[in-house]
Amino acid sequence: MTTKRNNQRLGWLADELAQLQEQGRYTNIRTLGSPQGAWLEVDGKKVLNFCSNNYLGLANHPRVTTAARDAIDRFGVGPGAVRTIAGTMTLHEELERKLAEFKRAEAVVTFQSGFSANVGVIPALVGDGDLVISDQLNHASIIDGVRLTKADRTIYEHCNPASLEEVLEENYGQYTRMFVITDGVFSMDGDIAPLPEIVKLAERFGAITVVDDAHGEGVLGKGGRGIVDHFDLHGRVDVEIGTLSKAFGAVGGLAAGSQVLTDWLKQRGRPFLFSSAMTVPDVAACIAAVDLLSESTELVDRLWQNARLFQGEMRRLGFDTGKTQTPITPVMLGDELLAQQFSRRLYEEGVFGTAITFPTVPRGKARIRVMLSAAHSNDDLEAGLQIFARVGKELGVI
Ligand SMILES: *Cc1c(COP(=O)(O)O)cnc(C)c1O
What are 181-212's pLDDT values in tens digits?
999 999 999 999 999 999 999 999 999 999 99
Answer CATH for 23-55+297-394 from 3.10.20.30, 3.90.1150.10, 3.40.50.410, 3.40.50.720: 3.90.1150.10
* Ligand 1 atom showing the smallest separation from residue 215 Cα: 15
Identify the pLDDT of residue 25: 77
pLDDT > 70: percent of the chain: 98
Average pLDDT over residues 214-236: 97
68, 286 Cβ separation under 8 angstroms = no
274, 82 Cβ separation under 8 angstroms = yes
Identify the pLDDT of residue 393: 98
pLDDT confidence bin for 248, thresholds 50/70/90: very high
Cβ-based neighbour number of residue 76 at 10 Å: 13
Identify the pLDDT of residue 151: 98
> What amino acid is encoded at 97 in this protein?
R
Contacts of 311 (CB under 8 A, 6+ apart): 321, 324, 329
- For residue 176, pLDDT over 80 is answered with yes
- For residue 2, pLDDT over 80 is answered with no
DSSP state of 82: B
Identify the pLDDT of residue 30: 87
Identify the pLDDT of residue 93: 98
CATH architecture for segment(s) 61-295:
3-Layer(aba) Sandwich (3.40)
How does pLDDT run across 127-159, given as a tens digit for each residue? Answer: 999 999 999 999 999 999 999 999 999 999 999
Q: Which of 158, 243, 244, 251 to mutate to test the pocket of ligand 1 (most atoms within 8 A of CB)?
A: 243
- For residue 333, pLDDT over 70 is answered with yes
Identify the pLDDT of residue 137: 94
The rounded mean pLDDT for the chain is: 96
The residue among 198, 49, 204 whose CA lies nearest residue 138 is 198
> Quick check: is 276 catalytic?
no
- For residue 3, pLDDT over 60 is answered with no
β-pairing verdict for 355-356 and 366-371 = antiparallel
Q: Is the dihedral of CA 287, 290, 296, 297 positive or negative?
A: positive
Catalytic residue among 61, 92, 139, 246, which?
246
Identify the pLDDT of residue 4: 58
pLDDT confidence bin for 26, thresholds 50/70/90: confident
> Quick check: is 275 catalytic?
no
Identify the pLDDT of residue 42: 92
- For residue 384, pLDDT over 90 is answered with yes
- For residue 216, pLDDT over 60 is answered with yes
Give the Cα separation of 138 and 55 in Å (integer). 21
Provide Rg for the chain, Cα atoms.
22
User: If you measure from the C-alpha of residue 49 to the centroid of ligand 1, how many angstroms do you get, rounded to a whole number?
Assistant: 20
Q: Do domains 23-55+297-394 and 61-295 have the same CATH topology?
A: no
pLDDT confidence bin for 12, thresholds 50/70/90: very high
User: If you measure from the C-alpha of residue 66 to the centroid of ligand 1, how many angstroms do you get, rounded to a whole number?
Assistant: 25
Q: Is the dihedral of CA 196, 109, 135, 146 positive or negative?
A: negative
What are the backbone dihedrals phi and psi of residue 32, each rounded to the nearest 5 degrees, phi first? -95, 140
- For residue 7, pLDDT over 80 is answered with no
Q: Is the dihedral of CA 192, 331, 61, 280 positive or negative?
A: positive
Average pLDDT over residues 250-270: 98
**pTM exceeding the 0.75 threshold for the entire prediction:** yes
Kind and range of the H or E run holding 333? strand 328-334
CA distances, 199 to each of 180, 215, 367 (Å) = 9, 19, 31
Average pLDDT over residues 339-349: 96
Closest residue by Cα to atom 2, ligand 1, is: 214
Per mean pLDDT, which range of 17-21, 65-69, 356-360 is the poorest? Answer: 356-360
Query: CB under 6 Å to ligand 1: residues?
Result: 113-115, 118, 139, 141, 183, 187, 212, 214-215, 243, 245, 253
Show me where the domains of the chain are located.
23-55+297-394, 61-295
Identify the pLDDT of residue 70: 98
pLDDT confidence bin for 292, thresholds 50/70/90: very high
Q: Is the dihedral of CA 370, 376, 377, 380 positive or negative?
A: negative
CA distances, 88 to each of 15, 78, 85, 382 (Å) = 46, 11, 8, 46
